[in-house]
Structure 1
Amino acid sequence: MQSDTNPFHDMASILSNPILNTDSYKASHYLQYPPEASAMFSYIESRGGRYDRTLFFGLQMLIKEYLCRPITPAMIDQAKAFFTAHGEPFNEAGWRYIVEHHRGYLPVRIRAVPEGSVVPTHNVLVTVECNDPEVFWLASYLETMLLRVWYPITVATQSWHLRNTIRAYLEKSSDDLSQLPFKLHDFGARGVSSAESAAIGGAAHLVSFMGSDTVLGVVAANHYYNEPMAAFSVPAAEHSTITSWGRERETDAFRNMIAKFGKPGAIVSVVSDSYDLFAALEVWGTTLKQAVLDSGGTLVIRPDSGDPLTIVLQTMRALEVSFGSTVNGKGRRVLNNVRVIQGDGVNPDSIQDILAAMDEAGFAADNIVFGMGGALLQQINRDTQRFAMKCSAIRLGDEWHDVRKDPVTDAGKRSMKGRLTLLVNRHSGEYRTVTLPVVWDDRTVAGDWDEALVTVFDSGKLLVDAAFSEIRKRAHAAEG
C-alpha cells in the first residue's frame, strides 16, 4: 500500500501542477541566464509545413485548464520533492515568491491572435512576456505547456483546408451548400493516444464541421467555449450489432435498423461489408427497398473495407441501379433516398481523389459523407506545421535586447528577434509580423493596419472568453 505522504501518489494533482507541466531541463534554466536579466519575451509561430495557412485555435482551453488556478505551497513541495530526486536544481525561492507576492498567479502576459483567425505561416501567433525581475524566466518555463497548442491548431488547420476542398466540389456539383458542415465526421476518438487528445483534437475539428462521434471533443467545445451543443451525430450500426445476428440473419439485422431508427427526415447509417458488401447492396435494393422508402428517412450505407476509391464508386453505382437518381441543377446525379459514408482509409489525399472520381463519373458531392479517424486526430505532429516557441528578446537591466537562433546548418530553424506583434491590414486582410515599437515606413499607411494580437491572459486572469460560434464565424469568413 502506498503512503498518503508520498508526493507522487496522486497523479491527478501532479497533472494539474503547472510547475511539473514542463521539461526536466527547464528546472535548471533560472541559473543559466545572464545575472542582470530582468524580463523575457517569447513567441509561438508555425515555421511552414503541410499547409501555408494555419487556423488558430485551442489556446483558451489550455489557459482555462492550466493557468487560471494559483500555485500553492503544496504544489511547490510536490515539485521540490520531484526535482530533487530527479537530479535537477529547483528554484524554490522563485516559486514561493510567486505565492507570496502574486497570490500564486503567474505574472505573465499572453497575447494571441483571436481564435478562428486564419494566418499565413511564418507569423507570430502568440507572445508570452514576464516583466517581473524575480521570475522573468517564466516566459520560457511555460514553453512545454503552451507549445502544445500546436495540436489543436494543426487539427483545426487540416479540417479547415478539407472544408475548403469539399466546399469546392459542392459548389461545382451540388445545389445545396447547407450540407457542408456535416460532410466530414470525426471518427477519431479510439485512434488517439489519450482522452485529453480526443477532447482537444475533437473540439478543434468542430471549428469547421458539426458532425462528430468523439464525445469528449464535443464536450470540450461546449465547456471551454460556452457552446450549448457544438456537434451532432445519428444512430449508426457497427459490425458487432450486425454480426451478432449471424451471417444467415444479416438481412434481419438490416431490417431492424430501419424499424428502430427509420422515420421521416431521419438518417440511419448501416455498415454493410460484414460479409459481402455486394450481396448486402443487392438486399438493400430489393428485399429491403420498400422498407427504406416507407420509412421516410435516408439510408446511409457504410462500406468499410477495400480500396476506398473503387468501393465508393461501386457502391454508388449499385445504389443508383436500385434506388435511382435525380439530375440536379449542376447536371450531376443525386441518389434517391440513400447516401454513402466512407470511413475507411480516409485522409486528405483520399478525400480529394474520391471527390474528383465522383465528379468525373457524374455523381454530385451530395452523395458522400466522410468519416475520418486516425488521420484526423492522430496522424499529425508538431512538425506537420513546424511549430516552435522561442525567446526573441530579453531585458538586461533596464534595456531590451534582441535574441535569436540562426543555425548555419538549418536556415529553416532561424527564429525571429525582438519584441514582436502581428498587424493585419483592414482592407486586404494581409498579416505582417513586426517588432515593437512599430515604426511605420514610407510604404505603410499607419491607418490601414490594426493590431491583430490581443491580450488574452494576464497574471492569472483570463481576459478573453471567446464563444465557439464567434470562432466558427471568423474561420468561415476566411474560406476560399
Structure 2
Amino acid sequence: MTTLNDANIILDTDSYKSSHFLQYPPHTTRLFSYLESRGGKYPATRFFGLQYILKRYLSVRVTADMVDEARDLIEAHGEPFPYDGWMRVVTAHGGRLPLEVRAVPEGTLVPNHNVLMSVTNTDPELPWLVGWFETMLMRVWYPTTVATQSYYLKQIIREALEQTSDRAAEELPFKLHDFGSRGVSSRESAGLGGLAHLTNFMGSDTLEALRTGRNYYGAEVAGFSIPAAEHSTITSWGKEHEVEAYRNLVNTFAKPGAVFAVVSDSYDLKYAINVHWGETLRPLIEASGATLVVRPDSGEPAAMVRLAVRALDAKFGSELNSKGFKVLRHVRVIQGDGIDEESIREILQTVIGDGFSAENVGFGMGGALLQQVNRDTQRFAYKASAGLIDGEYRGIYKDPVTDPGKRSKDGVLDLVMENGRYVTRAYKTFDTDFPGSLMRTVYRDGELLVDETLEEVRGRV
C-alpha cells in the first residue's frame, strides 16, 4: 500500500468537490465566494487564523506527482478528477494556486452577518478552484471562534476587575489561563486554538501555541506560565507527608516576586488551607516575598472558590483597596476545574458578593476553551455569491424557503464603514477597486502578501 503525501493540498477537500468542475454552467470563467458568520452565540466575531492557513497550506507548490497521486486516489474513490486543470496549475503557474484571497485584518471584531473573507480565481480556465478550497479555508472558523469566545470571556472578567480592583489593567491579561492542550483533538488544534486565545490573554500552558506563534506570527514568546503542582507531585509523597510536599514547593519556588501554584485538594482542601498552608507553612510564605496560588480541583466550582478565599483570608489576612474590596495578602486562588462562561460568572459574583476583589481569583480553562466549540457556534458559511458566465456578470445565492436564515448574499462583496457601522457592500461587477474597503488582499497567485505579527493582531484586540 502506498502512503499518501501529507503535503498534497489537492487532497484536502471534500470528495464531491472533485466533480464540480463538470457542474458549473458552460463558459464560466470567474467565481467569487465569501465567508461570514450568520449569527450564533456571540453578536460579533473576532477574525483570526487565516495567515496560518495561507502560510501552512496554500503556500505549498503543487507538483505533477501530487496531481498524479490525487487522480489515482480520487478516481479509485469513485469521483471524476480535473486532471488537465490541475496540470495547468503545475505547468502554467509553476504550482502556484491562481487564487486571490481578501480578508479583514486579523484581530478585527466584526458584527455577524458581514463578509470576513472573499476568494476568487485569477485564471479564467480554473474557476472551480474557488470551491475546491472551501474545505480548507472554512477551517478558519476554529481559531476565529476560539478567539471570539476568549474575547467575550475577557469582557466578563474585565468588568469584574474594573468594579473591584485598583489593578485591573495589570491583572486582566493573566486571569484566564489556557489548560486546553490535552483536551483537543490534535496538536494543530492545540497550536492554533491556543494562539487564538493568546490574542486576548497572556497566560497559557499550551506550549504548542507558542510554537505556532513563533513560526507563523513572528512571536518570540507568545505567552507565559508559572511553576505549578499536579496531584502526582503531591500524592507521591503520601498522605502522611502532604505538608512536606508543600514545603518542598515553597523551598523550591517561593522567591521574591515569584508566583507558583499548588493543587491542594488531593485529600482535604479545607484542612490543607487551614493547617498546612495557614499554620505550618504560613511563616515561610510570608517571609518569601512570593505569591502562593492555591488550586481547588474538585467539587462545585463557586463553592470551592468561596471556601478557599474565605479560609485564606482567615489565615493570611487581607487589605481593603480604594474600591472597598478585600485583597488577600501573599496568596491567590485559581479554579481550573469545570470552568466555562457560566461558572466564571458565578464564581465572580460569589467572590464579589463576599466583599473580595476579583483580582484574588484566576481561571484555568481547558476543553471548554479549545474544544467545546464548533462551526455552528458562530454559524460560519462559505458561499459562492457571483460569477462571470459567457462574459456576463451573474449574482449567485441560495434562498431556501424552509430556512430563511440560510439566505446567502449575492454580489462581489466588500466590507466598509458607514456612519460608524460595519456594512457589507455588494457590487454587481468584478471591475471594482473597492473604495473605502476595510478588507485587504492577503494572498494572490500562491504568494502571501500580508504577513503580520501577533503583536499587530493584539493591537487590534
User: Taking structure 2 as the reference length, what is the TM-score of the superposition?
Assistant: 0.97
Deviations along 1:350-378, whole A, 9 cap, x unmatched?
11111111111111011011000000000
Preserved contact between residue 30 and residue 137 of structure 1 (Cα < 8 Å): yes
The answer for the alignment partner of 2:140 in structure 1 is 149
Contact 2:411 2:428 in 1 (8 A): no
SS at match of 1:286: helix
Deviation at 1:437, TM superposition (A): 6.0
Structure 1 residue aligned with 2:250:
258
In the TM superposition, what whole-angstrom CA distance separates every residue of 1:322-349 from its partner, at most 9, and x where no partner exists?
0000000110000000000000000011
- Counterparts of 1:454 and 1:75, CA distance in 2: 30
Q: Which residue is equivalent to 1:212?
A: 204
Residue 281, structure 1, aligned to residue 273, structure 2: yes
Alignment match of 1:47 (pick from 38, 51, 57): 38
Give the residue type in structure 1 aligned to 2:342.
D
The residue type equivalent to 2:441 in the other structure is T
Counterpart in the other structure of 1:31 = 22
Report if the CA contact (8 A) 2:340-2:369 is conserved.
Answer: yes
Q: Which deviations, in whole Å up to 9, do the C-alpha atoms of 1:405-432 show, x marking residues without a partner?
A: 100001111100111010024x73x200
- How far, CA to CA, are the matches of 2:55 and 2:402 in structure 1? 39
Please tell me whether the aligned partners of residues 393 and 428 of structure 2 are also in contact (alpha carbons under 8 angstroms). no
The answer to whether the 8 Å contact 1:419/1:435 transfers is yes
How far is the alpha carbon of 1:174 from its aligned partner?
Answer: 0.2
- Equivalent of 1:432, from 420, 423, 446? 423
Instruction: Name the structure 2 match of 1:444.
Output: none
Structure 1 partner of 2:432: none
Aligned to 1:244: 236
Amino acid at match of 2:452: A
Retained in 2: the 8 A contact 1:113–1:452? yes
- Equivalent in the alignment of 1:446: none
State the AA in 2 paired with 1:473.
G
3-state SS of paired residue (2:255): coil
Residue 295 of structure 1 and its aligned partner are, at CA, apart by 1.5
SS in 2 for 1:451: coil
Give the alignment of 1:14-163 within 5 angstroms. Answer: 14=6, 16-163=7-154
Pairwise CA distance, 1:436: 2.0
1:281-430 mapped onto 2 (5 Å cutoff): 281-282=273-274, 283-425=276-418, 428=420, 430=421
Quote how far apart the aligned CAs of 1:450 are.
2.7
How many residues align? The count is: 455
Contact 2:213 2:220 survives alignment (8 Å): no
CA distance, structure 1, for counterparts of residue 215 and residue 240 of structure 2: 46
Q: Distance in 2 between matches of 1:387 and 1:218?
A: 27
Q: C-alpha distance in 2, partners of 1:112/1:469?
A: 18
**Aligned position for 1:465:** 451
* 1:191–1:378 contact (8 Å) kept in structure 2: yes
**Cα distance, 1:467 vs. partner?**
1.0
C-alpha displacement at 1:219, in angstroms? 1.4
Rounded Cα–Cα distance in structure 2 between residues aligned with 1:424 and 1:174: 36
Question: Cα deviations across residues 108-166 of structure 1 (Å, max 9, x unaligned)?
Answer: 00000000100000000000001422111111110000000000000000001111111
- Give the counterpart letter for 2:311 in structure 1: A
* Aligned counterparts of 2:55 and 2:123: Cα–Cα separation in 1: 22
Secondary structure of the corresponding residue to residue 63 of structure 1:
helix
Question: d(CA) in 1 for partners of 2:35 and 2:127?
Answer: 18
Corresponding residue of 1:478: none
Q: 1:453 aligns with which of 439, 445, 449?
A: 439
Q: Which amino acid aligns with 2:197?
A: H
Query: Any conservation in 2 of the 1:393–1:402 contact (CA below 8 Å)?
Result: yes
Q: Distance in 2 between matches of 1:453 and 1:401?
A: 23
Q: CA deviation at 1:193?
A: 0.5
Secondary structure of 1:273's counterpart equals coil
**Which string of whole-angstrom CA distances, capped at 9 and with x for unpartnered residues, describes residues 427-477 of structure 1?**
73x200011269xxxxxxxxxx831110000001100001111110101xx
SS in 2 for 1:70: coil
Give the match for residue 222 of structure 1.
214
- Counterpart of 2:102 in 1: which secondary structure? strand
Structure 2 unaligned regions, length at least 5: 430-434
Match of 1:443 in 2: none
Partner Cα distance (1:240, 1:415) in 2: 53
Deviating above 2 A after TM superposition, structure 1's stretches of 4 or more consecutive aligned residues are none
* 1:40–1:131 Cα contact (<8 Å) kept: no
The one-letter code of the counterpart of 1:309 is A
Please provide the CA RMSD for this pair.
1.3
Equivalent position SS for 2:70: helix
**Secondary structure of the structure 1 residue equivalent to 2:10:** coil
- 2:281 corresponds to which letter in structure 1? L
- Give 1:36's aligned amino acid: H
Aligned-partner Cα distance in 2 for 1:451–1:146: 21
- Do the aligned partners of 1:175 and 1:330 also contact (CA within 8 Å) in 2? yes
What secondary structure does 1:19 align onto? helix
What letter corresponds to residue 256 of structure 1 in structure 2?
A: N
The two structures have a TM-score, normalised by structure 1, of 0.93
Q: Is the 8 A contact 1:45 1:123 kept in 2?
A: yes
Q: Alpha-carbon deviation of 1:222?
A: 2.0
Contact 1:424 1:432 in 2 (8 A): yes
Same amino acid, percent of matched pairs: 54
- Aligned AA for 2:130? A
Determine the structure 1 residue equivalent to 2:184.
Answer: 192
1:242-301 CA-partner distances (Å, limit 9, x unpaired): 111111111000000111111000001000001111111121000010111122100000
Q: Is the 1:38–1:131 contact (alpha carbons within 8 Å) kept by the matching residues of 2?
A: no
Question: In structure 2, what is the Cα distance between the partners aligned to 1:137 and 1:219?
Answer: 34
